[in-house]
Chains A and B, each alone.
Chain A
Amino acid sequence: MNPKILSVDDSKTIRMLLKRLFIPFVCELFEAGDGQEGLDVATREKPNLIILDYNMPVMDGVTMLRHMRENPELKRTPVIMLTAEASPEIISTVARLGVRDYVTKPFDSDQLLEKAARVVTLERRPEIPEA
């Protein structure tokens, strides 16, 4: 089964950047613009990896993580934080909540891909020969 990756970020730019990053790989990509929407999509789709921002309207990334950890169906879902927040308090809070990795913006796309590949199998899509 193809891995499912959920991107939760209020910035459309970041969601588009991630789409562009993962498009060469066999996976299903889902998006959400805040933590509440992220929870809804995660509950419905049961992603294999969530790439999560911290600072978002409606519900921030830490609150979403707390809700996930209380939900038996989502509590083990791997999460990589991708955020402009780099304060030690936030990093230690999300570490306690079991995030796999923490990437600060600005970020190197290859590095993020490498971290994602430690969580899910990223197989390149076969190239379609030109007609």
Chain B
Amino acid sequence: MSNSSLVTEDLSLTSGRALREVFSKQLKLQILESPDNDPLSTLEGKLLHSAVSINGEKISGTVLLQLPEALAHQITEIMLGSAGDAEEIRDVTGELCNMIAGRVKAQLHASGFPATLGTPTVSVGQRIALQQRGEAQFSSTDWSVEGHETGAFNLQVQIRIIS
């Protein structure tokens, strides 16, 4: 099996494992893959997007996390112990994506693709999709928090192997 196919096969699994680890360890929340097809497309209200780049000699990619505002508020309260202001909610969303990207990066490193993480960027808006580039491998999964009615959220990961 080539390194390239290893990344292809494992990308959804790798990102799902990273996401579960961050939610259970940092937030003490269990998450489930959403059975609905693209649940964020019908969501009313804004989303917080956070993106972190992963770059190495042989690899380039992005991790994008999209949370409904209500869920971002709830996560902020869990992490900081109080309802945060707008800046704190954005910072928490960015830090969450940074942790997920860190776990994805560690898995890529173990598969022979060392890389470094960029600084998280956070924005607010409607659902977005990473632009799929050439032979880049792409994974998009929708999730919900067990026992919470704050709506689904989405994680996208794109990894391109530089030949």
Give the B-binding residues of A (Cβ under 8 A): 10-14, 16-17, 20, 55, 57, 83-89, 104-108
Closest to A12 in B: B91
Which DSSP category, helix, strand, loop or mixed, fits chain B's interface?
helix
Known: A55-B119, A107-B26. A13 touches B80 (CB 8 A): yes
Q: Are B95 and A13 interface neighbours, CB within 8 A?
A: yes
Q: Are B88 and A55 interface neighbours, CB within 8 A?
A: no
Known: A14-B95, A87-B109. A106 touches B119 (CB 8 A): no
Of the candidate stretches B7-15, B37-45, B97-105, B130-138, the one touching chain A is B97-105
Q: Which residues of A contact B116 (CB under 8 A)?
A: 55, 85
Size category of the binding interface on chain B: 20 to 34
What per-residue 1/0 map shows which CB atoms of B120-141 lie under 8 Å from chain A? 0000000000000000000000
Q: Are A17 and B79 interface neighbours, CB within 8 A?
A: yes
A55 to B54, CA, bound (A): 12
Given contact pairs A87-B106, A105-B26, A106-B26, a sample of 12 additional A-B residue pairs in the complex whose CB atoms are under 8 Å apart: A10-B119, A11-B95, A13-B88, A83-B102, A84-B101, A84-B102, A84-B103, A86-B109, A89-B114, A105-B95, A106-B21, A108-B25
Q: Is B94 an interface residue (CB 8 A)?
A: yes
Query: Contacting B117 at CB < 8 Å: which of A13, A55, A89?
Result: A55
Give the A-binding residues of B (Cβ under 8 A): 21-22, 25-26, 79-81, 87-88, 91-92, 94-95, 98-99, 101-103, 105-106, 109, 114, 116-117, 119
Q: Are A16 and B80 interface neighbours, CB within 8 A?
A: yes
A45 to B78, CA, bound (A): 31
Query: Contacting A87 at CB < 8 Å: which of B22, B87, B94, B114?
Result: B114
A127 to B109, CA, bound (A): 47
- Chain B: minimal CB distance from A62 (Å): 12
Query: Contacting A107 at CB < 8 Å: which of B25, B88, B105, B117?
Result: B25
A85 to B115, CA, bound (A): 10
Q: Which residues of B contact A55 (CB under 8 A)?
A: 116-117, 119
Known: A11-B91, A13-B92, A87-B114. A106 touches B22 (CB 8 A): yes
- Chain B: minimal CB distance from A102 (Å): 13
Q: Which residues of B contact A14 (CB under 8 A)?
A: 95
Q: Are A105 and B81 interface neighbours, CB within 8 A?
A: no
Q: Which residues of A contact B92 (CB under 8 A)?
A: 13
A7 to B98, CA, bound (A): 18
Known: A20-B81, A86-B106. A106 touches B99 (CB 8 A): yes
Q: Which residues of A contact B101 (CB under 8 A)?
A: 84
Query: Contacting A105 at CB < 8 Å: which of B102, B114, B119?
Result: B102
- Chain B: minimal CB distance from A77 (Å): 25
- Chain B: minimal CB distance from A121 (Å): 24
